[in-house]
A and B are shown apart, each in its own frame.
Chain A
Amino acid sequence: MRLCRARLWLAVTVLVLVHLAALGADLIAPYDFSAQHREFAFAPPTRLRFFDQEGQWHWRPFVQTQARAVGAGGAGGVAPLRLWVKGSARQVGPWVVETRLFGVEEPARLFLLGTDGFGRDVFSRLLYGARISLLAGLFAAGLSVVLGFVLGTAAGFYGGRIDEILMRFTELFLALPWLYLLFAVRAVLPLELGPIRAFVVFILIVGGIGWARPARLFRGVAVAAEKQEFVLAARGLGATDLHLVMRHVLPQSLGVFWTQFALLVPRFILAEVTLSFLGLGVGEPVPSWGNMLASLRGLQVLVSYGWMLAPAAALLVVVLCYEPLADWLQQRTKAGAA
């Protein structure tokens, strides 16, 4: 059990760091997500060096200026990695950010994870893409759990006709393989959407079809809760339905609520990645982890430019970290119920 604790903390720490990095993308990303360095198409990751050509050790890592850039007027040689460098201005809400956490001076370039076919920095795009993919998962999971709670509780609480209709609906949704359903609903909407609209549409679609499974669980809780004596007593004392739900059903549903949330977030992150990967989600030039992976559908890119798999690795890490979280929540709920 101690080991599990350690794993849980590790997972939570990693998740918090990843989300902070995504939120702070404007500060951390060395380049804009759409900045193209055309002369550096598919450039491999820039190596950070500590030893110069004479074998001298430097405490400050530096990068070699690449030959292609030297011709552009640079002195050639090396450029040290610096913290808090000045970059192009970025508008972040009401503020203008001009500093970057780290960077190198032109003409040297710093591509920590290489570049894609347009010479765009994969590391910067990974950070900006995390915003889209992670937030899409969080919002969509939030929406479907809330919808699931409202509808499921209504079904369990009132019973009768409402219950019947809602449960038939969930059955219908669950009778389709989830990805096919997602695709079918996506096909209803216009294919070409701006990035922001595509993002909102994704959340609405997934929230709109994802509530079925949680709703069934919430219904079970509500049915059980309604029969408890203190709920009956409260009702006898004249409590309104809303009061009963908020005061008595909701607290009992919280375990299911958080467990479902933790289970659904990685699932919906994957859904966003899948849709964007297949060209039905957020489109270029705005990065999402899915559309960054799309170029890998060409076999040549997959075989030759391994660093393009970075979003897949990031995806793996995020999903891997959500797993112990969901496990822990589930165990806690079970312990609470017993």
Chain B
Amino acid sequence: MNYVLPRLVHGLVLLTAVSVLSFLMAELAPGDFLADLQLRPGVSEETISLLRARYGLEEPLPVRYLHWAKSVFRGEFGFSMVYQTAAGSLLLPRARNTLFLTVTALILAWCTAIPLGVWSAHRPGGIMDRMAAGLSSFLLATPTIVLGLSFLLLAARLDFFPTGGMSSLDFDELGWAARLADLARHLVLPALALALSSFPVIYRHVRAAIGEVVDAPYLRAARGQGVGALRLLFGHALKAAANPLISLFGLSVAGLLSGSLLIEVIMGWPGLGPLLLESILARDAHVVVGAVLLSSVFLIGGNLLADLLLLWMDPRTREVR
């Protein structure tokens, strides 16, 4: 517990700082929802000032921040002017969808990158290595927009996968098995696109990390004693090379979240991305701040998870605090 607590505190402090920063940015923005409303011919000056008073926009900035922070703890995340409801009721289901998509993509990316990376490092210059290297440098250069558009095109051409959304219209009437299948069918392409966008970085790091240890004397000794190739690579080499990879795990969350913002918008996945874009265009300040804050919660959470994993995996990190 001694080494977990400081990290937790650090994460929380960082999160508070992010919330202050993003709240400030949203508040300092010129023009807001009410200023846009004022442009409508039927809305008088008095109505606007009444609304301003009602939403507490006349109060000083720190007070507004505290009000907002309190409502975050209640799970309301402030108030959406556009939808006239607590921002949390918009944000949280979307955040769940984003989490669902990114975690699927994360698992997909790591589960393909690790075996491929390990195998490439085991046989450097072999056919698998060269193929995977070519693929990864091509994917590394493929912008997420291009990836998203090509998968959308694929969906439209194949006719089997849906071209947007997360569930079919008749979702509520389906049995649980059919629901699961429906969800999976909607999930496949966005998750694949997202996984492919983060695959090359992970693959390269796995290959480099394993490549560094694969010729180490203790591994040669193990091989000499007759330990099989699979056990040698995945049991011994991977474990020895795990440290930088676990750190990378935390970092890969950041890349995935950025990627998922775009993929969601392009492929119509109802996550935080489309909501963020929509609320920026509608000047729905609290929803924007909430979306940014939630993305940072995921990112910091991912890094924290990586830190904890590292502590658990590697006893040395526990000593140096």
Contact = CB atoms under 8 A, between A and B. Distances in A.
B258 A179 contact: yes
Given A177-B258, A177-B261, A179-B262, A187 B149 contact: no
Interface string B264-279: 0110000000001100
B316 to A, nearest CB: 23
Contacts of A224: none
B280 A175 contact: no
A72 interface: no
A293 B144 CA distance: 13
Contacts of B18: 172, 175-176
A176 B288 CA distance: 14
A302 B141 CA distance: 22
A278 interface: yes
A316 B149 contact: no
Contacts of A190: 30-31
Interface string B139-175: 0111111100100110011000001000000000000
A103 to B, nearest CB: 30
A274 interface: yes
A185 interface: yes
Interface of A: 168, 171-172, 174-181, 183-191, 266, 270, 273-274, 277-280, 293, 296-297, 299, 302-303, 309, 312, 315-316, 319-320, 322-323
Given A183-B276, A184-B25, A274-B262, A176 B292 contact: yes
B48 interface: no
Interface stretch (B72-80, B216-224, B231-239, B295-303): B295-303
Given A180-B276, A319-B141, A191 B261 contact: no
Contacts of A274: 144-145, 262
Contact of B141 (A175, A186, A188, A320): A320
A180 B149 contact: no
Contact of A315 (B143, B163, B266): B143
A303 B17 contact: no
B280 A299 contact: no
A187 B23 CA distance: 12
A319 B143 CA distance: 8
A187 B156 contact: no
B183 to A, nearest CB: 21
Contacts of B317: none
Identify the 10 closest CB pairs spanning chains A and B, nearest first: A177-B257, A179-B258, A320-B141, A180-B295, A187-B280, A188-B29, A177-B258, A312-B146, A184-B292, A319-B141
B320 to A, nearest CB: 19
A273 B145 CA distance: 9
Given A278-B265, A302-B149, A303-B153, 12 more contacts: A172-B17, A172-B21, A175-B299, A176-B295, A183-B276, A184-B25, A186-B280, A189-B29, A190-B31, A302-B156, A319-B143, A322-B141
Given A180-B292, A274-B262, A171 B254 contact: no
A180 B142 contact: no
Contacts of A184: 22, 25-26, 288-289, 292
B28 interface: yes
Contacts of A179: 257-259, 261-262
A247 B245 CA distance: 38
Given A190-B30, A278-B265, A320-B141, A177 B296 contact: yes
B14 interface: yes
Nearest to B259: A179
Nearest to A186: B280
Secondary structure at chain B's binding surface: helix, strand, loop or mixed? Answer: helix
Nearest to B138: A320
Given A185-B25, A187-B26, A297-B266, A323 B300 contact: no
B106 interface: no
Interface residues of B, number: 50
A299 B161 CA distance: 14
Contacts of B292: 176, 180-181, 183-184
Contacts of B26: 184, 187-188
Contacts of B30: 189-190
A179 B280 CA distance: 13
A191 B145 contact: no
Contacts of B144: 270, 274
Nearest to B18: A175
A323 B140 contact: yes
Contact of A273 (B29, B140, B143, B295): B143
Given A179-B258, A274-B262, A315-B146, A323 B137 contact: yes
Nearest to B11: A175
Contacts of A185: 25
Nearest to A313: B146
A190 B296 CA distance: 24
A316 B149 CA distance: 13
A323 B141 contact: yes
19 contacts: A172-B17, A176-B292, A177-B257, A179-B257, A179-B258, A180-B295, A180-B296, A190-B30, A191-B281, A270-B145, A278-B265, A280-B277, A280-B280, A296-B149, A302-B152, A312-B145, A312-B149, A319-B141, A322-B141
A323 B204 CA distance: 14
Interface in B98-124: none
B257 A316 contact: no
B310 interface: no
A188 B25 CA distance: 6
Contacts of B15: 175
B291 interface: yes
B143 A278 contact: no
A175 B265 contact: no
Contacts of B146: 312, 315-316
Nearest to B303: A175
Interface centre among B145, B152, B259, B289 (most CB of A within 10 A): B145
Interface centre among B15, B137, B142, B261 (most CB of A within 10 A): B261
Contacts of B258: 177-180
B149 A309 contact: yes
